[in-house]
Chain A
Amino acid sequence: MAREMMFAEAMAAAIMEEMQRDPDVIFYGQNMAMTERDPFLKRFGKDRVRITPISETAEIGAGVGAAMTGLRPIIELYMNEFMLVAFDQVINEAPRLRYMSGGQVKVPLVLKAGFGFAAGWAGQHSNCLYHTMMGIPGLKLAVPSTPADAKGLLTAAIRDDNPVVYLHHYMLMLDKGEVPEGDFVVPFGVADIKRVGSDVTIVATAWMVKKSLAAAAELAKEGISAEVVDPRTLAPLDVKTIVTSVKKTGRLVLVDQAPRQSSAAAVIAGEVAEHGFEYLKAPVRMVTALDTPIPYSEPLERYVLPDEEKIMRAVRSVVAKQSVGA
């Protein structure tokens, strides 16, 4: 059974269902559960659903300690930038403690935050910071693009025995889609082919999946068949599905809302260069944000970020390369 839901509803459903299933799951954050009308508070009580002071280090740090000692906290952090205030806990505590203890403790913790808000939030609230968390052994990173994945990946994150950063894109919050009801898990490290195609592989995450699908629909009118692959989790990263797609299409365009330097796109390009070079008929193209902070004014913001037009231009260029060479 599936039902149409908004992205935000799908996440709430995952949390609600997991809290119902497992009494060790707790849920807290700033500016939440403020009154008794809150649906989580009503259902699970004030021990398991809490409002916190504006103290990210204590929120995340206490989450780490609670996870080490038997709870499974979900922390609502709102924006990925707010994790920066407590980045030691995210990068240098949660993912280290199991390893440093020789495997004696586990830290089942979900850090839930929005990102990539392209709506005039300017320099400090519009960022895509996932690339800063991709290279941290011990830390997992989920980046859903559809309501169904939003639920399935969040359920998997809550059930995972490791710290997971779960990032949801603010521009997708109101998107609707079919979401399976009841127990539904999207396993980590399994990319999803969002559109099947044969001429070019587009790899994209979150909002950029939506942009890439829109671009692919336009390109189809020009006779270009684009396959759109969504890794869904950046750590672990499903390199195999990406390389298999490149083997079929021979061309790769990587779309990433983050700046180009040290982006997820660059990491994936490196993997394909090592594991799929012989399949490439054209150079890899990366469509990323420019290497600037995010500006406030709309024309400036639009200039910096990737969009359908930029994706289409990149796809046309790699497809053209083949016809020239052939």
Chain B
Amino acid sequence: MMKAEALSSERLIWMYTQMLRIREFEERVKRTFAEHPGVIRGHTHLGDGAEGAIVGALATRAENDLVMPSYRCHGYPLVLGTPARNLMAEIYSRRDGVCGGFGGSMHLADPARHFPGTSGIIAQSIAHATGAGLTAQVKKTGQVVYCFFGDGSTKQGAFFESLNLAAIWKLPVVYVLENNQYQAYTHVSLEDANEMAGDPLSQKAQAFSIPGETVDGTEILEVFEAVGRAAERARAGKGPSLVEAKFYRLSAHGNAITVPPVPTQFPEHEAVEVYGNKAEYAEWKSKDPIVKFRTRLAGNRRLTDAAAKQIEDRVATEMEDAVQFSLASPLPRPEDAVKHVYA
């Protein structure tokens, strides 16, 4: 069993550091819209607020396990070891980007680091992750596939079809439902039958007779234990599970879609912009998973103020370097656009 209390100080600090790296990376992406307008094109989706779910889940990985999230995908490869420089350069559409400027924010991929790629179409990557589980089963690799998606995805056919398929074939997939409570601008209470009935979204697992549980996604160690149970079950050949991590997206769904030359930028969160609900936003902001984890580590004397400051400085330096590296990276050669169409 993966028990949170068995985690070493070193591992806890690693987890905290990864959360901070994701947050700082996303802050730098957001700042880019103001500081370097025009550098980021198209649509960009941030994962701030999801750090507890992302890192809590990925901390349970074995070395070769695969990670397949949706288009809100900046955080995962950071944890898997893709250099922040190459991720930022991709978002900046540069030649040194992890996909050479062919994919951008929504389509980060680093298969060599167990991150095969993402889809920008809601829920479709759930089917891809299910297929990666099929590969692991047929080739007997022992891998578990970590499949991340949002609450909106659970209203798509791809979700239902994939979980049914994974259940009947007992595929080694952990389905992590990141319930950040908004599908784009639509609050979960407006579109989810379970939510409307006062039930957790993880109840959907019952439709496939697989385990489903809901945890507080702002508590990284709760996510760690629940996903750990699901991963062990998958690795033992017992099939998939659904873990709902309930938290709150701290930024808007994505940067506002604008037509050039109007600079794209992030407005306020939908709770404020659309619903005028400042109290809701303030309440969840006070449950910031990073602040909660830091407080816990400090309380347990696992993390001193000095050590915390040191980590913050290191992460800030890393992400500043990623920004400067990406700004200096050349744009792709136009004629390379015809590469990579066919293998």
Contact = CB atoms under 8 A, between A and B. Distances in A.
B216 interface: no
Chain B, interface SS category: helix
Contacts of A138: 341-342
Nearest to A68: B116
A135 interface: no
A104 B110 contact: yes
B35 to A, nearest CB: 26
Contacts of A92: 121, 124
Interface residues of A, number: 45
Nearest to B136: A69
A198 interface: no
A22 to B, nearest CB: 12
A65 B128 CA distance: 4
Interface stretch (B96-104, B186-194, B298-306, B311-319): B96-104
Nearest to A63: B131
A189 to B, nearest CB: 11
B161 A105 contact: no
A102 B100 contact: yes
B212 to A, nearest CB: 18
B66 A61 contact: no
Contacts of A70: 135, 139
Given A47-B138, A68-B117, A105-B111, A53 B127 contact: no
A244 interface: no
A53 B132 contact: no
Given A48-B138, A65-B134, A69-B131, A101 B343 contact: no
A55 B112 CA distance: 31
Given A47-B137, A101-B107, A105-B117, A68 B161 contact: no
Interface string B120-163: 01001011111111111111000000000000000001100110
B119 interface: yes
B134 A103 contact: no
A74 to B, nearest CB: 13
Contacts of A162: 342-343
A61 B139 contact: no
Contacts of A88: 121, 124
Contacts of B139: 24, 70-71
B333 interface: no
B127 A58 contact: yes
A52 B165 contact: yes
A308 interface: no
A99 interface: yes
Contact of B131 (A64, A98, A99, A137): A64
A100 B103 contact: yes
A178 interface: no
Give the most central of A48, A97, A101: most B CB within 10 Å. A101
B169 interface: yes
A92 B122 CA distance: 12
Contact of A104 (B109, B119, B133, B138): B109
Interface of B: 66, 68, 97-103, 107, 109-112, 116-117, 119, 121, 124, 126-139, 157-158, 161-162, 164-165, 168-169, 339-343
Interface of A: 24, 26, 47-48, 50, 52-53, 55, 57-71, 73, 88-89, 92-93, 97-108, 137-138, 140, 161-162
Given A62-B128, A102-B102, 11 more contacts: A24-B139, A61-B158, A62-B131, A65-B133, A98-B340, A98-B342, A102-B109, A103-B340, A104-B112, A105-B111, A106-B343
